[in-house]
Amino acid sequence: MDSNDEIIYDSEGYIRIYKSGRAERFHGLEFVPPSSDPVTGVSSKDANVVPGVTARLYMPKLDSDKKLPILVHFHGGAFCMGSSFDPLAHNYITSLVARANVVAVSVNYRLAPENYLPAAYEDSYAALDWVLSHKNDGPEPWLTDHGDFTQVYTSGESSGANIAHHVAMYGGSKLCGAVLIHPYFLSSEKVESDEFNPALADKLVQLWKIVCPTTIGLDDPWINPLAADAPPLATLGCKRVLILVGGADTLRDRGRAYCEKLKESEWKGEVKYWEAPGKGHGFYVFEPKSELSEEQDKIIADFVNKI
């Protein structure tokens, strides 16, 4: 057998990665076209952001000329799975846009291992620049006519929340805030929630080293924003941050630590934290109508509308 055909990562039912950099994906492959949702009234359409990077835009049902907050969102999938166009991602953002009454831009960044990190970060920075370029004029009327550029938020789930943090650092004071949902952060320091699922905790470490082969390790600022060499959280340019975690999530304590360090830093903004009792990673995607899923959506909606 060719050594390049050696399997170096296998998550059954999700993804298999080979030494050559080839990947086989078994989840999140279905493409849902943009549409006008008959239940919520939310409309969606796709746009080219920069060469190689696309996004899906969402517009809620309009009942006034009031400008709406803008949510620049990054899907999850451990940097190597998922898209803005798969059913779970599309349905989640449709529901959130309806509840929060925001204009959303769901960024379809490049995935590893075909495009190793920092490609996803570079794509996401470019997407934010593209959104902000519409402040005075631009090709997308949903942004120019209906977006409030004093209320631009970055948001994401899991690896997308990791990206959302870095995009918030990049965007500085041009952003109003950040929403980090079940963030995928790691560290060389063990935490209590690692023990919820030690096998999964080990796989997250293994996967990080595959999607970012140039990493310096678990205290790389890309995966550990609290590392000694990471840009200080006090330099975060936005003024509001919301962190949401699952109480039974292996990554729970990483989100908690981020929240506490942000509070302890010299950052002068507002930080909010919410934990879904007894819930695991990404629970809201798989049970969108549950009481806690709807509560989480309401918390996000209230946050971006400053309620």
Nearest to 269 by CA among 306, 244, 296: 306
Task: Respond yes or no: is residue 281 known to be catalytic.
Answer: yes
Task: Respond yes or no: is residue 146 known to be catalytic.
Answer: no
Burial class (CB in 10 A: 0-12, 13-18, 19+), 200: middle
Does the bond joining 60 to the residue before it have cis omega, within 30 degrees of 0? no
Q: Tell me which amino acid residue 99 is.
A: R
Collapsed DSSP state (helix, strand, coil) of residue 156: strand
Task: Respond yes or no: is residue 220 known to be catalytic.
Answer: no
Cα separation of 307 and 299, whole Å? 9
Q: Tell me which amino acid residue 215 is.
A: T
Collapsed DSSP state (helix, strand, coil) of residue 276: strand
Cα separation of 73 and 180, whole Å? 10
Q: Are 251 and 195 in contact (CB under 8 A)?
A: no
Among residues 249, 253, 293, 297, the one annotated as catalytic is 249
Q: How many residues does the chain have?
A: 307
Nearest to 292 by CA among 273, 278, 304: 278
Q: Angle formed by the axes of helices 87-100 and 291-304, to 10°?
A: 60
Among residues 158, 159, 193, 293, the one annotated as catalytic is 158
Q: Are 42 and 34 in contact (CB under 8 A)?
A: no
Cα separation of 286 and 88, whole Å? 8
Cα separation of 126 and 132, whole Å? 10
Among residues 90, 146, 281, 293, the one annotated as catalytic is 281
Active site residues: 158, 249, 281
